Homo-oligomer: A and B are copies of this chain.
């Protein structure tokens, strides 16, 4: 079939005007936040119903056309990039909240519902959707599920996986499966729902998701603490976790802090300069909890783990303390940073961080290394800033070597080469650092069960 004939057929499967092939649409919808790939999709389809999604998948099987799912396109691993003539299936018009079940505290969402839209909906019901991260204003629920999105509240609330009560999916064969039926307890064989969470659209499309909500937190209170060295951060985490249910435990280095303060729009938390900082948050639901938190803080000071600290006394102060952490990414973007998102178990974090730091500093003494991350989850974001004088190409070439060291160190510590950004295309060639050959073979065989013709997001997670 000719390219034009394919397009004409595809047009009949969606609403009028919901198949786009203009250059701008192909460019904008063929890519995510990774910028190393050149988008080259065949067309962008915007289904409005489950039936239309099924029709597209059946058509793709018949015509042997690859499909790429597209949500908010905020991904950082190129899982939603269409660079090889694929049809992009965008869920921008399947973006309704369909149902709210008060007694179950669940919300039935179409996949195109934006994270923030769900968060706000929850708030209107006096409830809370706790998965939160920088791109919540544009990322979509379908994409969050595809990558098992994490973010800043994982230490208390877990990943997206923990909030998916049920899924409707269209498999690579075009079959509609209703997985788990929104039940809390359901011991009827394999929980196939779990396979689709984090599958990056390689098994099928999520076409409906029932998400759980929870009680809204009361009087969230943050502390920023300065530590004399990285090793002190971990006992601080441990001491607080013993007494409180932390809702966040983030860390960042003095370099990150300095760059954010240099913007001039966020006040310093205190005067003492420290090499590392922790930001922790908890529900100060009562005076007693507040007293407990202060007691732990004092103990950390006495032990020498903390040099200085501050606790938010108002909503405004809470926001300002969070800005110290939240503004980091945006602030360092100016230095064209090499970024990597990795994880190890929490206990291994100090040794892992020291190893990477040493390797980079020894080999590239002119590189500035900026660490921050969700340390309570063992999740580190490594950022290396391009020296102002260095050429971009030279910098990226050197970073390829850094990549190798990082992944080797991850393997040494039995960690993950992608903590929360997925594999997509950017990390698929390094997958074996985190998953064994046997596991990868099993994953490919599982994919073949759901997608025998290999039309679902091919080239993502594994090479074709």
CB pair B195 A416 closer than 8 Å: no
A438 at the binding interface (Cβ < 8 Å) = yes
A106 at the binding interface (Cβ < 8 Å) = yes
B-facing mask of A396-425, CB < 8 A → 1, else 0? Answer: 000000000000000000111111111100
CB pair B195 A443 closer than 8 Å: no
CB pair A191 B197 closer than 8 Å: yes
Chain B residues with Cβ below 8 Å from A286 are 285-289
Interface of A is mostly: loop
Q: Which residue of chain B lies nearest to A159 when distances are taken between CB atoms in the complex?
A: B185
A103 at the binding interface (Cβ < 8 Å) = yes
CB pair B434 A442 closer than 8 Å: no
CB pair B191 A147 closer than 8 Å: no
A25 at the binding interface (Cβ < 8 Å) = no
- Min CB distance, A241 to chain B, in Å? 7
- Min CB distance, A417 to chain B, in Å? 6
Chain B residues with Cβ below 8 Å from A199 are 189-190
Cα-based distance from A442 to B420 in the complex (angstroms)? 28
* Contact among B106, B378, B431 with A345 in the assembled complex (CB-CB below 8 Å): B106
Cα-based distance from A387 to B177 in the complex (angstroms)? 42
Pick from A16-24, A264-272, A317-325, A445-453 the stretch touching chain B. A445-453
Q: Which residue of chain B lies nearest to A127 when distances are taken between CB atoms in the complex?
A: B242
A346 at the binding interface (Cβ < 8 Å) = yes
B-facing mask of A196-218, CB < 8 A → 1, else 0? Answer: 01111001000000000001000
CB pair B177 A438 closer than 8 Å: yes
Which residues from 146 to 161 on chain A have a C-beta closer than 8 Å to any C-beta of chain B?
147-148, 150, 154, 158-159, 161
Would you give 24 A-B contacts (Cβ < 8 Å), ordered by A?
A101-B345, A102-B347, A103-B234, A103-B237, A103-B346, A103-B347, A126-B242, A154-B184, A159-B185, A171-B442, A181-B345, A181-B414, A184-B343, A185-B374, A186-B419, A187-B423, A188-B416, A189-B461, A191-B198, A194-B194, A215-B242, A215-B245, A287-B288, A446-B446
- A interface list, Cβ under 8 A from B: 101-106, 126, 147-148, 150, 154, 158-159, 161-162, 171, 175, 177-179, 181-192, 194-195, 197-200, 203, 215, 234, 237-238, 241-243, 245, 285-289, 343-347, 374, 377-379, 414-423, 427, 431, 434-436, 438-440, 442-443, 445-446, 449-450, 461-462
